Structure 1
């Protein structure tokens, strides 16, 4: 059934998909070209819901640099995985300054920033994905003020980051590219292209494709994951083609797979918060959660706890209700 397994990988993009995002992509290209030619602008902000193609656009921008052999280097940092100031700086350095020797743990932040400035001869395209996860938002402003660095910030909602920044960050001057959720017919096209490129002819019914496209609410990542679930189930049960009535179950299972994936990437504090919510088994107020964390030896501010709770909520690992002091939280388990 499978001829090219890459089509079932949500991190793999097909060349044709960029057509559906050609306008925002050209906006990014023109903004970057203006920076290179005239020095205008310091970066761009890409926002939009999950599965709307934000990371894909940034990847294509990096590909454009390589394809056109533009005099610019690039670095990508997934801030969900590397959120501290040291981790962000070291990850960027590893991509553009592999020849440099330094103590990754013991080098002061100011020295890491200096090394990053000196690690590239040409201008640097720096992509910070899931940037709202950054522990020290002041680092964003430092990047935007750094000569020779064009910074692309990616997150679902610009407010998730800007509310934590001061006025000197320069974020307000960035070119903002917002992506709406894909239309159902676009999701259908994305799936059909992947099926044609990587699956044997006749492996999937039209009904399955149409049902999945209607159920995922514009989330391409969820649709591709559901296609993978359908293929796995079909192979396990020796069924061909994948029938339309499997679509709802495939989407539900794919949604749970995506929800579980961030669990392996939680840092120590995030995991402790998640485990305490899970252990409580119901709605918990901030005071109770703070006390339980203190009992575990985790001494962080309530502002930090709220930031991590927002991140868990963002990835559907917890939910919130209420306002200000009356706000309560509970774990999402399925």
Structure 2
């Protein structure tokens, strides 16, 4: 049943995208000056998880690279490379390599200076989960780099701009904003049909695809995960078609796969917060922050912790109930 397993992976970037023409056009227009030897506009892609932001960013840059021979490109996942040093190191990998950089001894300022002194081909940097950066000075480093164009990706606009200093905020205020809304059922069905066309050896009844889309609540990652798991189970069972029982069986696992991925990408401090909530069952913000301060040697500010909690709520790892002083946090059951 599975012809090309790569197509069913969440990180796969298709040759054609479904139901994101307006978003692709907006980002293409922001990057278009690069085709004329100029710097592109900073672009900011925001919206809920699973709405195609990362896919569209990578897809659009790849189309740009087909038009421009001399162009450098680097993708940085700021949830993984969240310190200024790690982000700069990853960015420099895309420009000139980092073989001569000693990760244990090269000062951060030296990396910053190397980036700012860059004088080569136009350079596009996609900063995914940009609100996870612990030091937004990275954005200033990039802004100050000649011929460098930034594509920023995050869930919410306020998560990025609220923590910027006035100098950087004013410079990025003119960024081209591209909003991504959750997919509808018909849109998710179209995405699944495209994956089936290139990844499976058999067609699947539309009713099953609509069921998958409905169970995904607008999240393409979950929808593709359900399809992948159901197709895998069908292949293992020696079946030649997808049935309702296979789809139903694949839904909880796909949700948990996305949840596990989100858990694995939590930073050290976010994981401490999550573990405290998990241990307590339910906890108020004051008690949570107190226990957090006891468990780490370099606790972040209360505001940063609130941002971490908002991020975990957004990714359905934690549930927030009540308002202000009456608010409590508990671990989400992941939609089970």
Shift of 1:80: 0.8
Structure 2, unaligned runs of 5 or more: none
Structure 1, unaligned runs of 5 or more: none
Contact 1:44 1:177 in 2 (8 A): yes
Instruction: Find out whether 1:241 has 2:241 as its counterpart.
Output: yes
Q: Paired residue for 1:251?
A: 251
Q: Paired residue for 1:186?
A: 187
Shift of 1:74: 1.0
Q: Counterparts in 2 of 1:40-59, with a 5 A limit? A: 42-59=41-58
Change in 2 beyond 3 A, CA 1:99/1:297: closer
Alpha-carbon distance between aligned partners in 1 of 2:195 and 2:294, rounded to the nearest angstrom: 50
Instruction: Find out whether 1:26 has 2:30 as its counterpart.
Output: no
Q: Counterparts in 2 of 1:222-237, with a 5 A limit? A: 222-237=222-237
Change in 2 beyond 3 A, CA 1:326/1:146: farther
Greater shift in the superposed pair: 100-109 or 47-56: 100-109
Q: Paired residue for 1:132?
A: 131
Q: Paired residue for 2:102?
A: 103
SS of the residue aligned with 2:152? Answer: strand
SS of the residue aligned with 2:149? Answer: strand
Contact 1:317 1:331 in 2 (8 A): yes
TM-score (structure 1 length as normaliser): 0.90
Alpha-carbon distance between aligned partners in 1 of 2:120 and 2:107, rounded to the nearest angstrom: 22
TM-score (structure 2 length as normaliser): 0.90
Q: Paired residue for 2:273?
A: 273
SS of the residue aligned with 2:329? Answer: strand
Contact 1:75 1:92 in 2 (8 A): yes
Shift of 1:39: 4.7
Cα RMSD, aligned residues only: 2.3
Q: Paired residue for 2:13?
A: 13
Contact 2:45 2:151 in 1 (8 A): yes
Q: Paired residue for 1:62?
A: 61
Count of residue pairs the alignment pairs up: 331
Greater shift in the superposed pair: 163-172 or 297-306: 297-306
Q: Paired residue for 1:4?
A: 4
Alpha-carbon distance between aligned partners in 2 of 1:49 and 1:265, rounded to the nearest angstrom: 17
Alpha-carbon distance between aligned partners in 1 of 2:320 and 2:331, rounded to the nearest angstrom: 9
Alpha-carbon distance between aligned partners in 1 of 2:39 and 2:325, rounded to the nearest angstrom: 44
Q: Paired residue for 2:298?
A: 299
Greater shift in the superposed pair: 150-159 or 91-100: 91-100
Change in 2 beyond 3 A, CA 1:268/1:107: same
Q: Paired residue for 1:167?
A: 166
Deviations 1:73-119 (A, max 9, x none): 11110001111111111111122221551222333332211112345
